[in-house]
């Protein structure tokens, strides 16, 4: 099974920059997006053969997630019960026979770190949620998680220590999650691979010079590790300041 996750940074703009070409070419079983920046009825996507599930933010032009899947889930849920999470459209969970898929757009702690405290509370709630799901069946957790976990995951680690997305607190929350029975699929397969990034600033020539951060992930339950076939970063795909990431895994989607 092939899964894709992509922060599209505004789906309507991304569609105008080739989103559908990539979508058709990659032919994923499940395609997750973050930061759709849409309200209900603002776009009509004709995606033949796919079920569509959307979580819209209440605030216009902000946040939002969606999942497009060839395989109808047993159930779909939104958020983890917190009103703010629902208002920002950040979480969609699809239940299948043999696993849960959780698509997430993690809140940014902001440049001045004014949202860091809220972000850390979010991380604890989400980790508890994933652990509870994992007790029932394995979890595939993906999305823009807004953290570069290790120094290898961003170009200029030393100069970014303490900055949003690379604070000790955010990195420790990722470590704690992984210590709770989960793995970072890309690092599981490619522990030493550097210069592999999923987000680049829009500043001049930054992407051309590959000065980036790896902040988009597929995290899975540790017991799924033997079934992971590949984890890729499609940095050649344009249309957003993020690029898509892919997971190939042998798992039953029935």
**Residues acting as catalytic residues:** 105, 144
- Bridging pattern class, strands 212-213 and 245-249: unpaired
Residues in the chain: 254
Whole-number Å distance between alpha carbons of 8 and 144: 10
194-213 residues labelled b (16+ CB within 10 A) or e (exposed): eebbbbbeeeeeebeeebbb
Torsion of CA 54, 58, 63, 64, to 10 degrees: 0
- Nearest CA among 20, 26, 30 for reference residue 52: 30
């Amino acid at each position: 099974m092939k899964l894709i996750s992509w922060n599209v940074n505004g789906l309507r703009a991304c569609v105008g920059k080739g989103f559908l070409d990539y979508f058709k070419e990659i032919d994923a079983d499940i395609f997750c997006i973050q930061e759709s920046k849409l309200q209900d009825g603002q776009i009509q996507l004709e995606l033949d053969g796919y079920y569509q599930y959307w979580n819209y933010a209440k605030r216009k032009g902000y946040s939002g997630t969606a999942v497009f899947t060839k395989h109808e889930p047993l159930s779909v849920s939104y958020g983890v019960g917190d009103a703010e999470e629902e208002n920002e459209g950040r979480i969609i969970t699809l239940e299948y026979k043999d696993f849960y898929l959780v698509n997430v757009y993690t809140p940014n702690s902001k440049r001045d770190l004014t949202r860091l405290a809220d972000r850390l509370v979010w991380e604890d709630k989400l980790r508890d949620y994933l652990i509870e799901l994992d007790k029932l069946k394995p979890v595939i957790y993906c999305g823009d998680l807004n953290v570069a976990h290790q120094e290898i995951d961003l170009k200029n680690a030393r100069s970014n220590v303490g900055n949003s997305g690379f604070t000790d607190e955010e990195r420790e929350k990722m470590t704690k999650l992984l210590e709770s029975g989960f793995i970072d699929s890309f690092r599981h397969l490619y522990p030493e691979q550097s210069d592999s990034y999923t987000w680049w600033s829009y500043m001049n020539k930054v992407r051309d010079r590959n000065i980036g951060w790896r902040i988009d992930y597929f995290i899975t339950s540790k017991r799924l590790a033997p079934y992971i076939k590949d984890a890729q970063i499609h940095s050649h795909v344009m249309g957003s300041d993020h690029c898509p990431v892919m997971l190939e895994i042998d798992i039953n989607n029935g």
